Amino acid sequence: MSYEAKIVEALQKSDGKLSTIELAKETGLPKTTLIKYLTSFKISGKADFEDVGTSRLWHLVAPTKVKPSAKKKELDEMLKKLIEDTNLLGCAVVDREGSILSAFLPHNVNQENSAL
Amino acid sequence: MKESNIPSEIKSFFESSSGQTLLIKGKPGTGKTIFAFEVLKEVCDERNGLYFSTRVTPEKLYAFFPWIRNIIPEKNIVNATPNRMMKVFGSDFEAFKRPFDFDSALAFFKMLYEDAEEMDNPVVVIDSWDVVLNYVNLKDQGATLTQSLCELCREVGTHLILVSETADQTPLDFIVDGVVKLSDVEIRGEAMGGQVYSEQLSSRTARLIELNKLRGVKRGQKSYVFTLHNGRFRSFPPYTVQTTPRLEPIPDIDKNHRSTGIKDLDNIIGGLKRGGLTLFEIEYGVGLRYIPFLDQIAMNLSSNNIGVVRIRSAGVSSTLENKIPEAMGVYQFKPKTWITWRLEKLFPTSREYLDFFEVIKKESSEILELSLMESRKEYAEFLEQKGESHPSVAEFIGLDTFEILYGADNTLKLLDEAVSRAIESNEVLIAVVKRGMKSVEMITKIADAHIIFKDIVGSLFIYGVQPRTGLYNVSSDEQGIHLTPVV
C-alpha cells in the first residue's frame, strides 16, 4: 500500500479524530514523511484540520466540482469588488450541490479541489 | 554514566517534553553552531538531525565537525536560499498581506523535509533564523511566523533549535520555550583593597553560556563557562574535590625541570624549575579546591624519591593534611614553637583568636620576634632531618600563614631564605599566596613561574602570568588532575 493510501485509509477510519502524532502511530509512517503528505493534502484541498483545544485533528475533504456558468463573468466582477472592498483573502460562490460557480482564492489553494 | 558536554539543564529541557523550541543567541564567533550540534549529539537519535543552513555547505560542515556525520546525514543538510524561501512563502506575500499561520508552518516544514531522509524523531536546527527572516524580507511578521513554527513543533513533537545572531532581547524570546545566550567575557584579576594590582591590567578571555530561560526546568546555575577545544562544545560543571589518586610517577622533564605530576600542566609551563620558585596565587572564592592540585605535585615528587616538606596555608585543616601519609615522603611541618599553634587552642572561635592576635601584634612585638626566631630554627632543623632520608627535599610553603603571623616584611625574608636553599640544593620551591596579602606584589616579582587559581561561576580555572598562558579549566577524575584550555 502506498504512503498516500495508508494516510487516506487512516483518515477515513478515524472520522476526523486523529492528530498528526496519532496519524503517525496509526500509519506507521516516519513523522517527516507524514508531514510532507499532510501538507500536500492540505494545499490541494484533499484534507484539512480542525482546531480542537490545543490539537489539530485531520479529516478528508470531499472533492468540489467547478461548474461552468453563464453568469461567471458577472459573478467574477462582483467577487473581485468584494475582495477589494473588504480586504478578504479570497471568496467563492457555490451552488446547492457544492459546485463552484466563481472563485478568487489565495495562490496556494487549488480551486478545483478546494474545501469550501 | 556518560559525561555530558552540555549543561545538564539543557539536556533535561529536551527530555522533559517533546516539541521543545530553543533559541540560541550570540554574536558571530561565540560558538552557537557548535553548541547546536553538541545539543543534537546529546538529544537526537542517529540520522535524525536536520540542519537548515544559510551559510555552510555539507563539505565544510563535515570537514569542521566530522563527528556530526552520524547525526546529520548529507541529505539532511538543507541549504536555505532566497529562492527556496520564496517558493514556500511566495514573493508577493506582502501585497496579499498574508498572515503566517499554521499552514505557513506546514509549508515550511514540507520544504525542509522534501529531500531529507525519512525520520521518526527529527530535531531541526535553523542556522540562522535571522537570515531566513531576512530572505523573505520579514519585519514585524517574523514573530508571527516563529510562533507558527513553534506551534507546529509542539503539535507534532519535534524539537526545534533556532540560531540567532541577535544577542539582545527580542519578541522571539517570549515565543520559544528556551533561550540561551553565548558570549565572550573578559576575565580580570582582582583588586587588592583598593590598590591597583598590576595583573588587573591584563586579562584572559572566557566563553560563557547563560541559561536565560528554560521552561519547566530548574536551573542549577544561571551560567557556565565553556570551551570549543578541538571543535567541540564543552561546558564546565562546578569543580568537586576528589581524593588524589596514586599515579604512575612522571620523571623529570630535563635536567633543569622536574615534572609537576600533572601532564597538562607540564605541557603548559614546562615543569617545575629546579633552583627556582613556582608560585601559586589563590584568588577569592577558590577556597581549598587548589589543595588536590598541590597534593598531586607533592606525590609525584615523593614518588621520584624527593622529600617534600609542607608548611600549611591558613585554613587547611589537619584532615586535609593527613590525606598523604608521611610514609610517602610528604611531611607537614607543625612547629611547636610557632605561636599560632600555641594560641589557637585557647580560643573557641577563629574570630576571637584573630582579635586577640591583633592586640598582641601591636603590643608585644618582642614575643613575635622571639617566636619567629624559634620557628625558623626549628624549621631549619626539620628540613635537615628530612634531608637525611632523601637525596633532596622540596619545600611547599603557605606564605599566607606566615604573613598573618609575622607580617609582610618577615614573609619576604622567609621566602628569600627558602629561595636561597632551593638554589643551593638545585631543588624546586613551591609557594602559595592568597589574593589580599600585602606581600603578593613583591613575591610575584621573584617567581620563576606564577600561576593563578580563579573561580568563575563555580568552576575552577588556572592561568599563567609567568609564563603567560590562556585560561584552563581544572577537573579531576581517577586519572588525576586535567586541564582543558578555554578557547
ipTM: 0.75
Angle, vertex CA B267, rays to CA B463 and CA B248, nearest 5 = 115
Q: What is the mean pLDDT of residues B189-210?
A: 69
Q: What is the CATH number of the domain that holds A14?
A: 1.10.10.10
Query: For cell 629546579, what's the residue?
Result: B274
Q: What 3-state DSSP class applies to B65? A: coil
Q: Which of A43, A60, A77 finishes a domain?
A: A60
Would you say residue A40 has pLDDT above 50? yes
- The pLDDT of residue B203: 82
- B92: confidence class by pLDDT, cuts 50, 70, 90: very low
* Domain co-membership, A32 together with A79: no
Q: What is the mean pLDDT of chain B?
A: 86
Q: How far is CA B53 from each of CA B46, B112, B125, B126, rounded to the nearest angstrom?
A: 19, 11, 8, 6
Runs of H (alpha helix) within B304-391: 318-321, 339-343, 350-363, 365-387
- B95: confidence class by pLDDT, cuts 50, 70, 90: very low
Is the pLDDT higher at B21 or at B351?
Answer: B21
Identify the burial level of B246 via C-beta atoms within 10 angstroms of its C-beta, where 0-12 means exposed, 13-18 middle and 19 or more buried: exposed
Q: What is the pLDDT of residues B48-66, one digit of tens each?
A: 999 999 877 888 899 999 9
- The pLDDT of residue B17: 93
- The pLDDT of residue A68: 75
Grid coordinates representing B406 are 609575622
Q: Does B113 touch chain A (CB under 8 A)?
A: yes
Q: Does B375 touch chain A (CB under 8 A)?
A: no
> A99-103, B25-29, B319-323: which has the highest mean pLDDT?
B25-29
Cβ-based neighbours of B32, under 8 Å, separated by 6 or more: B24, B25, B26, B127, B128, B163, B182
Strand partners, B394: B308
Which of B104, B155, B160 to substitute to test the interface with A, most A CBs within 10 Å?
A: B155
* Domain co-membership, A53 together with A28: yes
Would you say residue B134 has pLDDT above 60? yes
Classify domain B8-235 at the CATH class level.
alpha beta
- Do the beta carbons of residue A56 and residue B155 sit within 8 Å? yes
- The pLDDT of residue B355: 75
Asked if A30's CB is within 8 angstroms of B107's CB, the reply is: no
Identify the burial level of B146 via C-beta atoms within 10 angstroms of its C-beta, where 0-12 means exposed, 13-18 middle and 19 or more buried: buried
With CA atoms as reference, the chain A residue closest to B116 would be A32
- Do the beta carbons of residue A83 and residue B65 sit within 8 Å? no
Q: Identify the CA nearest to B68 among candidates B138, B105, B123.
A: B123
User: Looking at A93-102, B65-74, B271-280, B465-474, which range is the least confident one?
Assistant: A93-102
Q: Does B366 touch chain A (CB under 8 A)?
A: no
User: Looking at A44-48, A64-68, B6-10, B413-417, which range is the least confident one?
Assistant: A64-68
Would you say residue B148 has pLDDT above 80? yes
Q: What 3-state DSSP class applies to B21? A: strand
Which of B76, B88, B92, B110 to substitute to test the interface with A, most A CBs within 10 Å?
A: B110
Share of chain A above pLDDT 70, in %: 87
First to last CA, chain B: 26
Cβ-based neighbours of A83, under 8 Å, separated by 6 or more: A90, A91, A104
For residue A78, count other CB atoms closer than 10 A to its CB: 13
- The pLDDT of residue B375: 80
Share of chain B above pLDDT 90, in %: 58
- B104: confidence class by pLDDT, cuts 50, 70, 90: confident
Distance from CA of A68 to the nearest CA of B (A): 27
Distance from CA of A21 to the nearest CA of B (A): 6
Strand partners, B461: B454, B473
Q: Does A3 touch chain B (CB under 8 A)?
A: no
Grid coordinates representing B393 are 627535599
| DSSP track, B128-140 | THHHHHHHTT-ST
Strand blocks (E) in B155-312:
159-164, 178-188, 203-214, 223-227, 234-235, 257-258, 272-273, 277-282, 307-311
* Domain co-membership, A9 together with A28: yes
Strand partners, B466: B450
Question: Which residues in chain A have their CB less than 8 angstroms from residue B155's CB?
Answer: 19-21, 55-56
- Do the beta carbons of residue A66 and residue A116 sit within 8 Å? no
Q: What is the mean pLDDT of residues B6-15?
A: 96
* Domain co-membership, A53 together with A8: yes
* Domain co-membership, A73 together with A47: no
Identify the burial level of B193 via C-beta atoms within 10 angstroms of its C-beta, where 0-12 means exposed, 13-18 middle and 19 or more buried: exposed
- Do the beta carbons of residue B480 and residue B247 sit within 8 Å? yes
Distance from CA of B155 to the nearest CA of A (A): 7
Asked if B121's CB is within 8 angstroms of A106's CB, the reply is: no
How many residues make up chain B in this entry?
A: 487
Would you say residue B372 has pLDDT above 90? no
* Domain co-membership, A56 together with A67: no
Q: B257-485: CATH homologous superfamily? A: P-loop containing nucleotide triphosphate hydrolases (3.40.50.300)
Distance CA B481, CA B475 (A): 6
- The pLDDT of residue B419: 96
Share of chain B above pLDDT 70, in %: 86
Distance CA B472, CA B400 (A): 24
Does B8-235 match B257-485 in CATH topology? yes
- B420: confidence class by pLDDT, cuts 50, 70, 90: very high
Question: What residue spans define the domains of chain B?
Answer: 8-235, 257-485
According to DSSP, residue B231 is labeled: G
Asked if B122's CB is within 8 angstroms of A32's CB, the reply is: yes
- Do the beta carbons of residue A40 and residue B109 sit within 8 Å? no
Cβ-based neighbours of B351, under 8 Å, separated by 6 or more: none
Q: What 3-state DSSP class applies to B425? A: helix
Distance CA B92, CA A18 (A): 34
Angle, vertex CA B381, rays to CA B378 and CA B385, nearest 5 = 140
Distance CA B40, CA B433 (A): 44
- Do the beta carbons of residue B221 and residue B210 sit within 8 Å? no
Q: What 3-state DSSP class applies to B90? A: coil
* Domain co-membership, A46 together with A87: no
Cβ-based neighbours of B110, under 8 Å, separated by 6 or more: A35, A36, A39, A40, B88
Q: Does B363 touch chain A (CB under 8 A)?
A: no
Q: What is the mean pLDDT of residues B39-48?
A: 94
- A43: confidence class by pLDDT, cuts 50, 70, 90: confident
Grid coordinates representing B129 are 533564523
* Domain co-membership, A44 together with A79: no
Q: Which of A18, A37, A60 finishes a domain?
A: A60
Q: Does B418 touch chain A (CB under 8 A)?
A: no
Q: Does B96 touch chain A (CB under 8 A)?
A: yes
Distance from CA of A84 to the nearest CA of B (A): 11
Would you say residue B72 has pLDDT above 60? yes
Q: Does B115 touch chain A (CB under 8 A)?
A: no
Containing domain of residue A87, as a range?
63-116
Grid coordinates representing B279 are 608560585
What is the gyration radius of the CA atoms in chain B, in angstroms? 29
Question: Which residues in chain A have their CB less than 8 angstroms from residue B116's CB?
Answer: 32
User: Looking at B189-198, B232-241, B333-342, which range is the least confident one?
Assistant: B189-198
Runs of H (alpha helix) within B217-316: 263-269, 291-303
Structural domains of chain A, count: 2
Choose the closest CB to B118 out of A33, A39, A49: A33
Question: What pTM was computed for the model?
Answer: 0.83
Would you say residue B377 has pLDDT above 90? no
Q: Which of A22, A41, A60 finishes a domain?
A: A60
Distance CA B21, CA B175 (A): 9
